[in-house]
Amino acid sequence: MRMKFSRSSHLLQVAAASLAAASLITACEQFTETLTVDFVYVASAKAAGANNYGEINVFEIDSESGRMRQIPTSPFPSEGRNPVAEAVSTDYQNLFVVNQDDNTIVQFAIGSDGKLYPNNTVNTPGIFPLAIATSKTNVFVVDTYQPLPLCSTAEPCSGSIAVIPLVTPSSSNNCTTTVCMGPSVNNTAVNGQYWPLTLPSAPKDVIVPTAVNVLASGAYIYVTAYDSSTLTPTGYVFGFWVVPASYTTIPSGTSCTPLPSGQTTYPAGTLCPLAGSPFAAGARPSAIASDGGSAFVYATDTVHGDVLGYSVASNGALTPLSGSPYPAGNQPSSVVVDPSPSYPYVYVANSQDSTVTAYAMSNGVLTRIGSYATGLQPVAIGIDPSTYHFLFTVNFLADNVSNFELSTTAGSLLDAQFSPYATNAQPVAVAAIPHNGTGGGVQSH
C-alpha cells in the first residue's frame, strides 16, 4: 500500500527536525558555557573522616538565581584538624586554610572546576593560629600565643603575628602551584619568626588577638585584639607597615627595629609598628575589614554591638570617622566591605541576632540601610568577587550558609533561590573566587 503525506504532516516533520537541532545546540551550549560566577569555600570545624580532618564544602553560585550548589566530590578534607580561617591568593589560584589544632596552613591549588588539590603545608610560628590574610607578596597569620615555652591554655600569654612570603615555585620548596609559601620572615628584636602583640604601657598584660586585615595596597596590616588582664576588656587595633621589596623612605612615625650591624635595609615582609599603634577599638573587637581603595578600615565590637570606622592616613595611622562607632546588632562577629568601587556598602553579621546589618558608605561614614535574617549564629561573611551581586554568611549553629542577592543600587538584600544551603557541621569560615579567575560572569570554556 502506498502511503500519502499531507502538507501538514510535512510541516510537523520540519518542526520536529528544528526542535531536535535546537536541542543539540542547547546541549552543546551546556558544555561550552556556564552560569557559574563564583566558587565559594566554606570550612567546617567539626572533624570528619578517618583522620579527624575538618571539611571544605565547595559551592558554585548561579549568576541568574544566586542559587548555591555543591560541586561534584565536595566536600574536601581540610588536611588538618579544626580549620578556623581561610584566604585566597590575589590571583585566585590558591586557597590557604588554617588548621588550628595542627598549627598548620595548608595551601590548596584551585582547579578550573573549583576542585581543591593539597599542594603545600607549613607550620605557623606561634601557637593555635586563628586568622589569616593575604596580599600579592605575603601570607599573614595571627597566632593565639607567642611561641614561648610557658605559653599554653593553662598559662596564656599574648598573641603574635607572622609573615610568610609568597615565592616562586621550585624544586626546593615542594610546591607546584602559581605561588608558594616560603620561610617566615625573621624579627631580629625577638630572634624569632613572629611579632608579639604587646602594650608598651603594660607589656605583661595578656593580649588576645581576634582578626587580621591587610589593605588592598598591601602596604599596611591591622590586627584586632583585646586586653584580657583588665576587669573591663579594652580593645585595640595593632597596625604595621609591611616593608616592601624595595623602598626609599619609612613612613613618618613608624618605629622599625634598629637594623643589625652592617645591614642597610630591612628584609621584605618585616613589620614595623605604626605611629599611634595600637589604636583604641572599643571593648572586644571581633573582626576587621577595609575598602578596596585602602582608605577606610572597619572593626566590629562584640561587647557594645557596633562598628568602629577609621580613615587611613598616608602613614597608615588610623583616625576615627565622623559618627563612629555605628550601631549594629548583638554580638557582631564579622564585617565585609563591598570590593567594587561602584557599590559603596558595608555589611556586618550579628551572631546573636542571626542577622546582617547593611550600611551605605559615603566618604567612609556609614548610614544604616536595614537588617536581614540569616541562619542561626552567622560567624563569617563574604561578597562574591565576580559580580559583587551576592552576599553570603556562614551560620555556625545552623550548619548552613545563607545567600542573598545584593541590590547594587540600594545595598539592600534579598534571599537567593533556595537559600540557605546545608554544609558540614559547625561551619566557621568562608572565602570565594570568581569563576575562571576573570570575574566576567558567564564564561565560555
| Residue 198: CATH number of its domain | 2.130.10.10
Beta strand ranges found along 313-426 (DSSP E)? 318-320, 326-327, 332-337, 345-350, 355-362, 365-373, 378-383, 390-395, 400-406, 413-415, 421-422
Rounded-to-integer distance, Cα 16 and Cα 21, Å: 9
Bridge partners (DSSP) of residue 22 are none
Whole-number pLDDT of residue 437: 53
Bridge partners (DSSP) of residue 414 are 405
- For residue 204, being part of any structural domain is answered with yes
Query: Cell digits for 153?
Result: 591554655
Tell me: pLDDT of 15 over 80: no
169 pLDDT band (50/70/90 cuts)?
confident
For cell 571544605, what's the residue?
56
- Ranking 6-20, 303-317, 424-438 by mean pLDDT, the lowest is 6-20
182 pLDDT band (50/70/90 cuts)?
very high
Structural domain count, the chain: 1
Q: Which residues contact 81 (CB under 8 A, 6 or more apart)?
A: 47, 52, 53, 54, 99, 100, 101, 102
**What are the pLDDT digits (tens) for 76-119?**
999 999 999 999 999 999 999 999 999 999 999 999 999 999 99
For cell 591554655, what's the residue?
153
Residue 220 vs residues 277, 290, 315, 373: alpha-carbon distances, Å: 12, 11, 9, 34
Rounded-to-integer distance, Cα 84 and Cα 100, Å: 6
Average pLDDT, the chain: 90
161 Cα distance to chain centroid: 17
- The number of beta carbons lying within 10 Å of the beta carbon of residue 202 is 13
Residues 211/129, Cβ–Cβ less than 8 Å: no
Q: Three-state SS for 336?
A: strand
Whole-number pLDDT of residue 152: 85
Rounded-to-integer distance, Cα 236 and Cα 376, Å: 28
H or E element in which residue 19 lies: helix 7-32
Q: Which residues contact 199 (CB under 8 A, 6 or more apart)?
A: 205, 207, 227, 236, 278
- What mean pLDDT is predicted for residues 32-46? 85
- For residue 18, being part of any structural domain is answered with no
- For residue 167, being part of any structural domain is answered with yes
Q: Three-state SS for 7?
A: helix
H or E element in which residue 21 lies: helix 7-32
Whole-number pLDDT of residue 262: 83
Residues 299/239, Cβ–Cβ less than 8 Å: no
Q: Is the dihedral of CA 176, 126, 217, 225 positive or negative?
A: positive
Residues 225-234: contacts with CB under 8 Å, at least 24 apart: 225/159, 225/197, 225/278, 225/285, 226/283, 226/284, 226/285, 227/199, 227/202, 228/156, 229/202, 229/204, 229/205, 230/205, 232/283, 233/283, 233/284, 233/303, 234/280, 234/283
- For residue 86, being part of any structural domain is answered with yes
**What are the pLDDT digits (tens) for 53-84?**
999 999 999 999 999 999 999 999 999 999 99
- For residue 14, being part of any structural domain is answered with no
Of 284, 288, 123, 266, nearest to 221 by C-alpha is 288
Rounded-to-integer distance, Cα 23 and Cα 105, Å: 47
Query: Cell digits for 387?
Result: 559580580
Tell me: pLDDT of 212 over 70: yes
Tell me: pLDDT of 168 over 70: yes
Whole-number pLDDT of residue 47: 76
Of 88, 269, 270, 85, nearest to 165 by C-alpha is 269
- For residue 6, being part of any structural domain is answered with no
- What mean pLDDT is predicted for residues 428-435? 96
Rounded-to-integer distance, Cα 379 and Cα 335, Å: 10
- The number of beta carbons lying within 10 Å of the beta carbon of residue 17 is 10
- For residue 1, being part of any structural domain is answered with no
Rounded-to-integer distance, Cα 282 and Cα 418, Å: 38
Q: What is the DSSP string of 119-169?
A: EEEEE-SSEEEEEEEE-SSEEEEEEEE-S-TT-SSSS----EEEEEEEE--
H or E element in which residue 40 lies: strand 36-48
The larger pLDDT score, comparing residue 160 to residue 7, is at 160
Q: What is the DSSP string of 345-368?
A: EEEEEETTTTEEEEEEEETTEEEE
**Domain span holding position 381:** 34-249+266-444
- For residue 107, being part of any structural domain is answered with yes
